[in-house]
Structure 1
Amino acid sequence: MTMRETLIAATKDFNLQLSEKQLSQLERYHALLAEWNEKMNLTAITDDEGIAVKHFADSLTLFNYYDIPQNARVIDVGTGAGFPGLVLKIARPDIELTLLDSLQKRLTFLDAVLQELNLDANLIHSRAEEGGQNMNLRESYDLAVSRAVAQLNVLSEYCLPYVRLSGWFIAFKGSAEGELQNAKNAIGILGGKVKSVQNFELPMDGGSRTLIEIEKVRPTPDRYPRPNGKIKAKPL
């Protein structure tokens, strides 16, 4: 099957159904990803089915469990090649999206994709912990999302500072067994509260996935996020 056919099959039972325009946009995104991946390391997953299921469908699972408000301000922290943030924007062009990453070359790629797809997003070149101390970004988003490869206690320190009171941070994880228990202290210190945990299997044997929803119930103390060295040396 083509990437498009695989994506249609993988998302046939999803809450949000993609239009022809959105499918075409994802096809073009896939083509640009393959083209740019030859010049820089954007993804280790390169086959059509892997892109369709493990990147695109995986990103879209958010809409199976959560209602994202119209015109919500969303930040994807450590966005990499744009997952999940850019896929969410394609599916819901009303959201006001910010893509944050520490590598400028990734943002250059994402800017090219946005222009090609006629979409807009704010691109921010910053380390996550530095952006979290930026008063223009701190506690100003309805939703923070991340598929970054970090333990949940570390990921929470990177992401929760961006979230406004009563907003959410949703972590996209593989198997998160054990991580949640280890992260509860960090989540509490940072002003969060675990609201829901969704465990599911991606279609087409795409693997086990977990979405962890953390609500922002108190402001994050000013000292967080700490410098990256301290976060890694002494996780909360």
Structure 2
Amino acid sequence: MAAPLEDRAQRVFGDHYPKAVAFRDLLVEHGVERGLIGPREVDRLWERHILNSAVIAELLPQGCRVVDVGSGAGLPGIPLAIARPDLDLTLLEPMARRVTWLSEVVEALELEVHVLRGRAEEVAVRDRLAGSDVVTARAVAPLERLSRWCLPLLRPGGLLVALKGESAEEELERDAEAVRRAGGVRPRVTACGGDVLELPTTVVLVERDEQASRRDGTRRRRKDR
């Protein structure tokens, strides 16, 4: 039998558990009315959303620079920021009302997190966030588009961490060639939080090709001629 949910959440968040509770309470109070979560999700926020997001922290190196693309309600970015305050974390979101929500949460929970309005494919965003160590995304887009949008934000060797569902293997097989063309290498599926969640979080990992930035620079030089 799984340990009580509170015990598992405390194991994940440690001393920062009260902030995780406060985030959950904010979602319960405002999430549905502000269009952040569906009504059916209120009773399963811990297992399906907050812990589901936080457990990917086990994949992230200490002190790394992370961009959460399409952060929306703050998933996985806010749980990551709570569980891992060592991260240099930016929440990237295109919708103004969700940017307002994210800013409110960051202020209320006193998190050291940047909130930026924009889309990963925008030139200004790429210029600002390029060279990141990790990009996370949850329920944003299929891998084919996600790779094109997110891989350019990474340093060579950086890691795309895409939270996916049970069909992750099929999606990876379908989009493998598109991922390769976008500069992704060593794509694979893994699971996180097996000791915390009854249904572990399924994640697709894609590394940015070490040679990608060199090729990008060559193409830019050709265009400038």
Q: TM-score range by the shorter chain?
A: 0.7 to 0.9
TM-score for both structures, normalised by structure 1: 0.79
Asked if 1:47 corresponds to 2:42, the answer is: yes
- 1:189-228 per-residue CA deviation (whole Å, 9 max, x = no partner) reads 111112532147976655x642111111232665xxxxxx
> 2:222: which partner in 1?
none
What is residue 171 of structure 1 aligned with on the other side? 162
The CA deviation string for residues 75-118 of structure 1, in whole angstroms up to 9 with x for no partner, is 00001111111111100101010001111111111111111111
Comparing 125-134 with 75-84, greater Cα deviation is found at: 125-134
How large is the RMSD of aligned CA atoms in angstroms? 2.5
> What one-letter code is carried by the residue in structure 2 that aligns with 1:33?
L
Q: Is this contact kept in 2: 1:132–1:158, CA < 8 A?
A: no
Counterpart selection for 1:150 from 109, 118, 141: 141
Deviation at 1:69, TM superposition (A): 2.1
Higher helix share: 2
Opposite residue 173 of structure 1, the aligned amino acid is K
Q: 1:7/1:56 Cα in 2 relative to 1: closer, same or farther (>3 Å)?
A: farther
Asked if 1:72 corresponds to 2:67, the answer is no
Kindly indicate whether the alpha-carbon contact (under 8 Å) linking 2:120 and 2:153 is maintained by their aligned counterparts in 1: no
Query: Which secondary structure does the structure 2 equivalent of 1:124 belong to?
Result: strand
| 1:173/1:19 CA distance change after superposition, 3 Å | same
Residues 154/113 of structure 1: CA separation in 2 closer, same or farther (3 Å cut): same
Listed as ranges, the matches of 1:120-139 within 5 Å are: 120-130=112-122, 134-138=126-130
Note the residue ranges of structure 2 that are not aligned, 5 or more in a row: 217-225
- Over the matched positions of the two proteins, sequence identity in percent amounts to 32
2:13 match: secondary structure: coil
- Greater shift, 144-153 or 87-96, is seen at 144-153
- Flag the 1:56–1:133 CA change in 2: closer, same or farther, 3 A: closer
Three-state SS of the structure 1 residue aligned to 2:122 is helix
State the one-letter code of the partner of 1:78: G
Look up the equivalent residue of 1:24 and give its one-letter code: P
Report how many residues are paired.
Answer: 209
Residue matched to 1:6: 5
Structure 1 stretches of 4+ moved >4 Å: 199-206
Aligned to 1:108, what secondary structure does the other structure show?
helix
Paired position in structure 2 for 1:18: 13
CA contact (8 A) 2:28 2:42 kept: no
- Give the equivalent residue in structure 2 for 1:186: 178
